[in-house]
C-alpha cells in the first residue's frame, strides 16, 4: 500500500486514476495479485481527488461548426486611393474572393456608395452569383 501511496501522492503523482497508478507501479518493477483492486480503492478513498473530480464532457470545449464556404461565397472589398487622376479615375475598388483568391480591380472617379452598389450588381453578382458574405473595413462608402 505504501508503494501505491507514493505513486499517488508524490509531487509527480498528480492524483491520477487507478489504471494510471497501476502503470506507474508496474514501471517501478512491482506487482501483486490485487494491484488493480488496491489502486482503485486508493483512488476512491482519496479525499482531495474526489473533491477535485475528473474532467468530463461538461469540461470540454463546444464544437463550433464552420460555415461551408464555396468559391465566390465570401468576398473582401476595399477602396485604394486617391491616386493621381488617370482619365478621370482616382480610386480603385479591389475585390478578393477569400477561397479562390480571385482578384477584381475596378477604377472609379470617386469612392461613394452608389458607385460600389452599381459595380457589384453589374460586374460581380451577374458573373459570380450573389455572395453569402462581403467583408469590408466598414467605411462610409460600404
pLDDT digits (tens, 9 = 90+) for 17-51: 677 778 887 887 888 888 888 888 877 777 666 66
In this prediction, residue 52 carries a pLDDT of 62
What distance in Å separates the CA atoms of residue 25 and residue 46, rounded to the nearest whole number?
17
- pLDDT, position 90: 92
- By the 10 Å C-beta count (0-12 exposed, 13-18 middle, 19+ buried), 98 is classed as middle
51 touches 30 (CB < 8 A): no
- Tell me, which fold does domain 74-135 have in CATH? Nucleotidyltransferase; domain 5 (3.30.420)
Distance (Å, rounded) from C-alpha 123 to C-alpha 55? 54
Give me the residue spans of the domains in the chain: 2-55, 74-135
User: What pTM was computed for the model?
Assistant: 0.49
Amino acid at each position: 500500500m505504501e508503494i501505491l501511496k507514493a505513486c499517488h501522492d508524490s509531487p509527480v503523482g498528480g492524483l491520477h486514476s487507478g489504471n494510471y497508478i497501476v502503470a506507474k507501479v508496474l514501471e517501478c518493477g512491482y506487482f501483486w495479485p490485487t494491484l488493480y483492486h488496491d489502486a482503485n480503492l486508493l483512488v476512491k478513498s482519496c479525499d482531495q481527488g474526489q473533491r477535485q473530480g475528473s474532467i468530463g464532457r461538461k469540461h470540454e470545449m463546444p464544437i463550433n461548426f464552420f460555415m461551408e464556404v464555396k468559391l465566390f461565397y465570401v468576398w473582401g472589398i476595399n477602396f485604394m486611393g486617391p491616386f493621381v487622376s488617370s482619365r478621370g479615375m482616382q480610386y480603385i475598388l479591389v475585390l478578393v474572393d477569400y477561397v479562390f483568391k480571385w482578384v477584381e480591380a475596378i477604377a472609379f472617379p470617386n469612392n461613394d456608395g452608389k458607385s460600389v452598389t452599381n459595380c457589384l450588381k453589374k460586374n460581380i453578382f451577374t458573373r459570380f452569383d450573389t455572395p453569402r458574405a462581403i467583408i469590408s473595413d466598414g467605411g462610409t462608402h460600404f
